[in-house]
Amino acid sequence: MSWFVFTLICMLGWGLADVFYKKSNVDGDRYSHLKTAVWVGLMMGFFSLLFIIFTLCKEPLTGLVGEEVANAITAETLFNSETSIFVSAVKYLPASLSYIISMVIGYAGMRYLEVSIVSPIQNASGALSAIFLFIYFSAKGAIKSFWEEFSVLDVIGTLLIVGGVIALAVVEQRLAKAEGALNLKPEDRKYRYGALALLFPIIYCLFDTIGSTADAIILNEDHGMGLGEIDVLILYGLTFFVAGVCCWIFLLIKEKKPYNPFRPAEIKTRGAAALFEQFGQIFYVYAIASKPIIAAPMVASYCIVSAILSRIFLKEKLKSEQYACIVTVIVGIVLLGISEGLAEAG
C-alpha cells in the first residue's frame, strides 16, 4: 500500500479514537485523563510485545511483511551492541516523551472542550511539522530530492490541507469563546471556555509538533537516524507502557485504591480509544517514513474525521464556517489522491 492509503487509514483510526476519548472522560473525575493514559499504555505495551515476538520469530514475520523485510528485522536488530533496541530507545526518547506529554494533555483538555474544538487546534501541529521539516531537509541539502517527488497537485493539495486545518482551528477557538460567553454562567466560563481551557490543545500542538518532526527525522535513512518502522513502534509502545504504569501508581497513591481498567465500562470507552490509537499509530509510522513533509499535514487533518464523527455520534453541532474548512481539507486530500494515482499509473 502507498503512503496515501496508510495516511487515510491513520486518519480514520485516530478520528475514531478522539470520539472514544471524549466518551471516556468523566466531568467529575479529576484523574480521568490519567486513567485513559493507563489504558493507552497497556494497549501499546501489548502491541510492542507482539512486534517483538514477530521480530524474533522469522517465519510469521516473513508471512506478514515479506522475506526481504523479515531478513532486515532479526534478533540482531534488537540485541546487537551497536543497533540494539535499548540503544535506540535512548535516541528515540525525546520523540516518544513529546508524544506522551501531548497526548495526556490532550486527554485533560477534552474535559473542558468539545472534540470538534479540541482536535483542530491540536492538529495545527501538522502544518508546523511540515514547515520545520522543510527547514531541516533544506539545511541538509535534501529538499531538492523531495521536490522532485512532488507534483503541482501535491503542492496545491498540501496547501489546501494546511490552510483548512489552520482555519478550522481559528474558527473553533472563536466559536468556543463566543458560545462560552452566551451559554455558561460567569463563574464557569474560565473553566470551560477561558484561556486556561484553550491552553490544553495549544500545548498539545507544541509537543506534538516536536514529536512529529522528530519522528520524520528519526525514520529518514539518508538524513536522520534511519530507525526502522517496527523499531519505532516497539520503542514508542514500550515508553508509553512505562508512562501508563507510572500513571497507575500515581492513581493508586492519590485515590488510595487500585484503578481497575478492565471493568466493562472502561473497556468499551478507554479500551476502544486505546485500540484505535494503536491502529492509527501503526499506519502513521509507515506514512511518515515514506513522505514526511507531505504526510505530516495530511495526518493532522484527521481532525476533520473527528469533527464529522463527533457530529454524528456525540451530536456536537457544526457551523457553516466549520463545514467550509472541512470541505477545503477534503478537496486537498482528493487532490493528493489523484496525484498519487497518476504517479502509480505512470
Confidence of residue 1 (pLDDT cuts 50, 70, 90): low
Length of the chain: 346
Are 279 and 40 contacting, i.e. CB atoms less than 8 angstroms apart? no
pLDDT in tens, 138-169: 787 766 665 566 778 888 998 898 888 888 87
Percent of the chain residues topping a pLDDT of 70? 76
Instruction: Report the distance separating Cα 332 and Cα 157, nearest Å.
Output: 4
Q: Is the pLDDT of residue 33 over 70?
A: yes
Instruction: Report the distance separating Cα 286 and Cα 292, nearest Å.
Output: 10
Q: Is the pLDDT of residue 115 over 80?
A: no
Instruction: Report the distance separating Cα 168 and Cα 165, nearest Å.
Output: 5
Q: How many other CB atoms sit within 10 Å of the CB of residue 303?
A: 30
What residue ranges do the domains of the chain occupy? Answer: 3-345
Query: What's the pTM?
Result: 0.82
Least confident of 51-55, 120-124, 154-158: 120-124
pLDDT in tens, 302-346: 888 888 888 888 787 888 888 998 899 999 999 998 988 877 766
Instruction: Report the distance separating Cα 166 and Cα 170, nearest Å.
Output: 6
Instruction: Report the distance separating Cα 324 and Cα 171, nearest Å.
Output: 10
pLDDT in tens, 165-203: 888 878 877 776 665 544 444 444 444 444 456 677 778
Residue with the three cell numbers 451559554:
183
The predicted model gives 23-36 an average pLDDT of 86
Q: Is the pLDDT of residue 120 over 70?
A: no
Q: Is the pLDDT of residue 79 over 70?
A: no
Confidence of residue 36 (pLDDT cuts 50, 70, 90): very high
Tell me which amino acid residue 192 is.
R
